[in-house]
Amino acid sequence: MSGNDTNAIEVRDAVKRYGDFTALKQISLSIRDNEFFTLLGPSGCGKTTLLRMIAGFEDVTEGEIFLYGDEIENLPPNKRPVNTVFQNYALFPHLTILDNVAFGLEMRGSSKSEARARAGEMLELVQLSQFAARKPSQLSGGQQQRVALARALAPRPKVLLLDEPLSALDLKLRKAMQLELKHLQRETGITFIFVTHDQEEALTMSDRIAVMSAGELQQLGAPTDIYERPRNMFVADFIGETNLLEVSVDKIESGRAVCHLGGGHELTCDAVDGIGVGSKVHMSIRPERLYMSNEPEKDGSLHGRVKENIFIGTDISTIVELDDAPDFVVRTSNSDRGNKRIFEPGTDMFVNMEKGAARLLID
Amino acid sequence: MATSKSAKFDIKTYGGFKAITMLCLLVLYAPLVVVTIYSFNASVSLTNWEGISLRWYVDVFTGPESEKFKIAALNSFVIAIIAATVSTMIATLAATAMIRGGKFKLRTVSFGLISLPLMVPEIVTAVATLIFFNSIGFDRGLMTIILAHTAFCIPFAYLPISARMQGVEDTYEQAALDLYATKRQAFTKILVPLMMPGIISGFILAFIVSLDDFIITNFVKGAGVETLPTAIFGSVKQGMKPNIMAISTMLLGVSVLMVTISYFVSKSDNTK
Alpha-carbon distance B202 to nearest alpha carbon in chain A (angstroms)? 20
| A119 and A206 together in one domain | yes
Q: Is residue A352 part of a domain?
A: yes
Nearest to B158 by CA among B200, B197, B114, B188: B114
Q: Is the pLDDT of residue B272 over 60?
A: no
Q: Is this model's pTM higher than 0.90 or not? A: no
| A75 and A218 together in one domain | yes
Separation of CA A209 from chain center: 5
Mean pLDDT value across chain B:
88
Total domains in chain A come to 2
Q: Which residues form the domain of A133?
A: 7-233
Alpha-carbon distance A234 to nearest alpha carbon in chain B (angstroms)? 32
- Report pLDDT for A62: 92
| A140 and A197 together in one domain | yes
CATH of the domain at A296: 2.40.50.100
| A352 and A269 together in one domain | yes
- Report pLDDT for A173: 86
Mutate to test the interface with A, among B103, B168, B177, B180 (most CBs of A within 10 A): B180
Alpha-carbon distance B194 to nearest alpha carbon in chain A (angstroms)? 7
Interface residues from chain B to A (CB-CB < 8 Å): 169, 171-172, 174-182, 185, 190, 193-194, 270-272
| A245 and A223 together in one domain | no
Q: Do B177 and A56 touch (CB under 8 A)?
A: yes
| A281 and A170 together in one domain | no
Q: Is the pLDDT of residue A3 over 60?
A: no
pLDDT tens digits along B189-207: 999 999 999 999 999 999 9
Residues from chain A contacting residue B193 (CB–CB below 8 Å): 94
Q: Which residue of B has its CA nearest to A154?
A: B179
Q: Is residue A41 part of a domain?
A: yes
| A272 and A169 together in one domain | no
| A96 and A213 together in one domain | yes
Given A189, A211, A233, which residue is the final one in a domain?
A233
Q: Is residue A1 part of a domain?
A: no
Given A211, A233, A255, which residue is the final one in a domain?
A233
Q: Determine the Cα–Cα distance for residues B121 and B75; give it in Å rounded to an integer.
A: 25
CATH of the domain at A121: 3.40.50.300
Nearest to B270 among A93, A104, A151 (CB): A93
pLDDT tens digits along A184-210: 899 889 999 999 999 999 999 999 999
Alpha-carbon distance A349 to nearest alpha carbon in chain B (angstroms)? 54
| Beta-carbon pairs below 8 A across chains A and B | 66
Q: Is residue A152 part of a domain?
A: yes
| A51 and A93 together in one domain | yes
| A56 and A160 together in one domain | yes
| A110 and A29 together in one domain | yes
- ipTM of the complex, rounded to two decimals: 0.82
Residues from chain B contacting residue A104 (CB–CB below 8 Å): 178-180
| A223 and A251 together in one domain | no
Given A182, A205, A233, which residue is the final one in a domain?
A233
pLDDT tens digits along A289-339: 888 888 888 767 888 899 999 988 888 899 998 877 788 899 988 876 666
CB neighbour list of residue A172: distance below 8 Å, 6 or more residues apart? none
Mean pLDDT value across chain A:
88
Q: Is residue A2 part of a domain?
A: no
